[in-house]
Structure 1
């Protein structure tokens, strides 16, 4: 057996809130405590000097799209485009270095944030505007939420009868079925080698941000089965749990699909609706900026219910992409019916999931909590779009915006939270995610730093159906999955004044976390370990992993 003893730092552990050292033997945490005791108990250990650094459980990103994330990390990203004209300039610059016939896969344009010197600068690019720049190149430019896209004529022509598909428009961004078809055509132009590089790039990036595991959300309309199977065969030390988003009608159907896809579960981005930014989230009342439209429903109630039932019968996770309040009402009603039919213990054993859960009421959160459902949520959505005048308010109005992403309300009702990025929609950046959850635009919807940290660590494992009380923590007996961080300050902060007073009292023995206040320097990862294996190391820690 090989034991490694990390000394001279700060270790985040509920077993020893003032720990400065941790011992790991063969990939398992065997002890946490003080330096002197650690040396006495483990005299033959390989010693690593933390030099004041912070050691904490590794993060889990419970909702990612690895291939598109990897493509975005090395390709055309439009997140910083300031208006339509700027977006088009960036496409032109990228196209100038693109070979004839090669696909341009761009991501991230967000017209809700655009301004300009002329009114047209605040709108999306059109097909004709893209064609004028790229000529015969196939171009796919996904909106930031990836639920609509601008596509060049060359790419559109790869889809027979595209103009008959729901969501088609000759000039405007494609949505719904038309978007899914064009995205599929674009995927076919990504070579197997490009796909592998993109997946590895995304996982390397995650490891460099202290992430030890991710949940891939695949499906027929997102990544395709070839991409999903290739990811399953990829050899990479970051743990990947794969969710396939396709509805089933029966237990036998579920078993067949699991066998074909080799998925861990039939959950993730199984779309009940779309996204607020693309006007495709399914709402009970019309959009504030589009009074004649309530979004799109992809699944009817019976399909939702039958999918949950089938997965429950074989003991596998089911789950759905749920954003709009009408979509939420449908899935909550299905869980409520099945709770009466199958019993809540049968549902809870499966740890079914809903992705995003942006418009879940307090009462609905209570129903989901009773059924043991996990809500995989993205705090950076609020950071990006939840401010005054931002996208949520543009699309929904101020009244509906106030209730979005209610982390505190969900937690009070007992709904299990897991935090994630939905990369490439928002970055894989766990500390920024925690900051966004703590400093919500609506303070009453915010949760404490400890609650947010738990949702980004233990919550991710619970979202994967792992709830053994050890995984996602640094206590004796837990897997040695952790990250080492350079930090400025450690603080203890509660979610409201009463908790704050007790938490900061030394008698509370509450472990401190890095300062994530607005303006504070967020921690920088210097080493990531998963079950004793090195995922990332920038070489600054004095000592080698044995």
Structure 2
């Protein structure tokens, strides 16, 4: 007896997960999976009386996007706290703090995030700005990138941070002339205040994760790699929030979580990580939730001069300094840790932003290969702001995936004022060298680091293709050679991240047997001029063959 499709998509282009989109084809779904891809002329033969037929009306049907590096629980929670991400300048940020304080008089310690470093001189806001509107309650707010914290005087008093408090080895306190804290803490110094602030409640984290899931599904995202399962750098541990959503049947997306490697500890962490991985496996949901990855933060960020560089940063006059950034873990220890994790069957997810951090991470993978032999664990390096030409060519040989955050790869205020003027000359022309990585044979995955920046895959794809912000007249960052074509970056957001997440056999591709996880994009970004890609948007999202999001001004064209 013939089985008819439950859902049929036709009338548009189909991006299958690689290469240029195909046309004249219909995608058939049954029991939550792709049943077949057939010529439109054969569609009628697969339609039953109950088949839902979706007319794409020229739109693009793509595999659901997957984000290879994201912090959803933190991002969702921040939307529920003092959220500064919409502020366009320092004055607006202060106004948002004042408004939040007025609306929440019972919140004893105000927390939140989202301020942008380029809104403040030297990237470091002063406590006095908050003191002017909230003098009587502690306030501590993470920057968008979570590598710095802005606090008021009441927070410093509550934490006991004063002129006599030394900088930790992995961070820095910005100070006034008398040595007292000026208002900003960088990297490990954030913990001086953070450890005294109230911990997020379980209910808040669950609400944050649920909010994040809704926000991300609306952008066509059907899966991700959570880049931090564990507490640190101002982001609470999301593990129990995931477990609650799973228990309540509310986790819709497919998640691979990266357990957080505590840089002040060593190999004694591995046994506990193995136990946590087994705990997740015991849920029996391999296609929905897994904790088989470990995240290691190798260095910091360039804006506060903590990204680990081969050559030193420059001062305001362009002279070389003695600062080459911070390696949170020595190259020797990193090789030991990665070798042990690889032997234990863990995928390693590196935060590696500066060229020395990238080199140390690749050297660690090389050591693991030498000790353990070839691996199918799909280790990957995220951020990759600066990669030396020699190291860009090593990714393919080491089976290391380049995990790109493409939205950052253009000229914008934070890069142009806080980073490029202080970079060594060797690094200034090698910002986010996507083209070199791709041409060197590296596999590519793509993500956002949300809430550091927008999670929108269309916005990220626009930058990867153009290397220029929408409607800007800048020169392409890094030149034409670092641009990717649209098919390549769409593959990174779909089949590429599915590969990183070890789900490339069931997601990231439109082919028979794969889960029916889709994003419908209109207008078809492959049909518009490259400079107009950003105008496309996701109009509906599907998971397991079910429509889980429709844009408010769109109706699904079905019969």
TM, length-normalised to structure 2? 0.83
Q: Secondary structure at the match of 1:88?
A: helix
Please report how far the alpha carbon of residue 256 of structure 1 lies from its aligned counterpart in structure 2 after TM superposition.
4.0
Supply the distance in 2 between the matched residues of 1:227 and 1:17 (Cα, whole angstroms): 39
Supply the distance in 2 between the matched residues of 1:60 and 1:278 (Cα, whole angstroms): 30
Task: Give the alignment partner of residue 305 of structure 2, picking from 265, 276, 279.
Answer: 279
Q: Deviations over 1:378-398 (max 9, x none)?
A: 011123648983443133156
Q: Secondary structure at the match of 2:358?
A: helix
Question: Against the structure 1 CA distance between its residues 475 and 292, is the aligned structure 2 distance closer, same or farther, given a 3 Å change threshold?
Answer: same
Please report how far the alpha carbon of residue 83 of structure 1 lies from its aligned counterpart in structure 2 after TM superposition.
4.3
Task: Give the alignment partner of residue 326 of structure 2, picking from 296, 307, 310.
Answer: 296
Q: Secondary structure at the match of 1:457?
A: helix
* Structure 1, 122-131 or 422-431: larger mean CA deviation: 122-131
Q: Secondary structure at the match of 1:209?
A: coil
Task: Give the alignment partner of residue 527 of structure 1, picking from 540, 550, 554.
Answer: 540
* Structure 1, 439-448 or 396-405: larger mean CA deviation: 396-405
In structure 1, what is the equivalent of residue 208 of structure 2? 198
Which residues of structure 1 form unaligned runs of 5+?
115-120, 491-512
Q: Does 1:78 align with 2:78?
A: no
Supply the distance in 2 between the matched residues of 1:387 and 1:532 (Cα, whole angstroms): 41
Please report how far the alpha carbon of residue 148 of structure 1 lies from its aligned counterpart in structure 2 after TM superposition.
0.7
In structure 2, what is the equivalent of residue 463 of structure 1? 500
Q: Does 1:132 align with 2:132?
A: yes
In structure 2, what is the equivalent of residue 7 of structure 1? 10
In structure 2, what is the equivalent of residue 494 of structure 1? none
Supply the distance in 2 between the matched residues of 1:74 and 1:265 (Cα, whole angstroms): 29
Question: Against the structure 1 CA distance between its residues 329 and 521, is the aligned structure 2 distance closer, same or farther, given a 3 Å change threshold?
Answer: closer
Please report how far the alpha carbon of residue 524 of structure 1 lies from its aligned counterpart in structure 2 after TM superposition.
2.3
Which runs of structure 2 are paired with 1:379-398 in the superposition (5 Å)? 379-383=406-410, 385=412, 389-396=416-423
Please report how far the alpha carbon of residue 375 of structure 1 lies from its aligned counterpart in structure 2 after TM superposition.
2.0
Supply the distance in 2 between the matched residues of 1:260 and 1:423 (Cα, whole angstroms): 27
Q: Please state which structure has a larger fraction of its residues in strand.
A: 2
Q: Please state which structure has a larger fraction of its residues in helix.
A: 1
Question: Against the structure 1 CA distance between its residues 215 and 181, is the aligned structure 2 distance closer, same or farther, given a 3 Å change threshold?
Answer: farther
Q: Does 1:244 align with 2:281?
A: no
In structure 1, what is the equivalent of residue 346 of structure 2? 316
Question: Against the structure 1 CA distance between its residues 158 and 267, is the aligned structure 2 distance closer, same or farther, given a 3 Å change threshold?
Answer: farther
In structure 2, what is the equivalent of residue 327 of structure 1? 357
Please report how far the alpha carbon of residue 357 of structure 1 lies from its aligned counterpart in structure 2 after TM superposition.
1.9
TM, length-normalised to structure 1? 0.85
Question: Against the structure 1 CA distance between its residues 521 and 129, is the aligned structure 2 distance closer, same or farther, given a 3 Å change threshold?
Answer: closer
Q: Is the 8 A contact 2:343 2:372 kept in 1?
A: no
Q: Does 1:143 align with 2:143?
A: yes
Q: Does 1:31 align with 2:41?
A: no
Please report how far the alpha carbon of residue 252 of structure 1 lies from its aligned counterpart in structure 2 after TM superposition.
4.1
Q: Deviations over 1:435-475 (max 9, x none)?
A: 1111122221111111111011111111112343x631112
Q: Does 1:435 align with 2:462?
A: yes
Supply the distance in 2 between the matched residues of 1:319 and 1:100 (Cα, whole angstroms): 40
Q: Is the 8 A contact 1:103 1:190 kept in 2?
A: no
Please report how far the alpha carbon of residue 157 of structure 1 lies from its aligned counterpart in structure 2 after TM superposition.
4.5
Question: Against the structure 1 CA distance between its residues 311 and 516, is the aligned structure 2 distance closer, same or farther, given a 3 Å change threshold?
Answer: farther
Supply the distance in 2 between the matched residues of 1:155 and 1:228 (Cα, whole angstroms): 28
Question: Against the structure 1 CA distance between its residues 143 and 224, is the aligned structure 2 distance closer, same or farther, given a 3 Å change threshold?
Answer: closer
Which runs of structure 2 are paired with 1:182-261 in the superposition (5 Å)? 182-186=193-197, 188-218=198-228, 219-222=230-233, 226-234=237-245, 235-246=250-261, 249=267, 252=271, 254-256=273-275, 258-259=277-278
Supply the distance in 2 between the matched residues of 1:143 and 1:387 (Cα, whole angstroms): 12
Task: Give the alignment partner of residue 68 of structure 1, picking from 61, 74, 87.
Answer: 74
Task: Give the alignment partner of residue 368 of structure 1, picking from 395, 398, 414.
Answer: 395
* Structure 1, 138-147 or 214-223: larger mean CA deviation: 214-223
Question: Against the structure 1 CA distance between its residues 111 and 311, is the aligned structure 2 distance closer, same or farther, given a 3 Å change threshold?
Answer: closer
Please report how far the alpha carbon of residue 329 of structure 1 lies from its aligned counterpart in structure 2 after TM superposition.
2.1
* Structure 1, 403-412 or 235-244: larger mean CA deviation: 235-244
Please report how far the alpha carbon of residue 317 of structure 1 lies from its aligned counterpart in structure 2 after TM superposition.
0.6
Q: Secondary structure at the match of 2:300?
A: coil
Supply the distance in 2 between the matched residues of 1:391 and 1:288 (Cα, whole angstroms): 11
Supply the distance in 1 between the matched residues of 2:55 and 2:236 (Cα, whole angstroms): 46
Supply the distance in 1 between the matched residues of 2:54 and 2:418 (Cα, whole angstroms): 47
In structure 1, what is the equivalent of residue 490 of structure 2? 453
Q: Is the 8 A contact 2:242 2:251 kept in 1?
A: no
Kindly report the root-mean-square deviation, in angstroms, between the aligned alpha carbons of the 2 structures: 2.9
Supply the distance in 2 between the matched residues of 1:257 and 1:165 (Cα, whole angstroms): 33
Question: Against the structure 1 CA distance between its residues 259 and 17, is the aligned structure 2 distance closer, same or farther, given a 3 Å change threshold?
Answer: closer
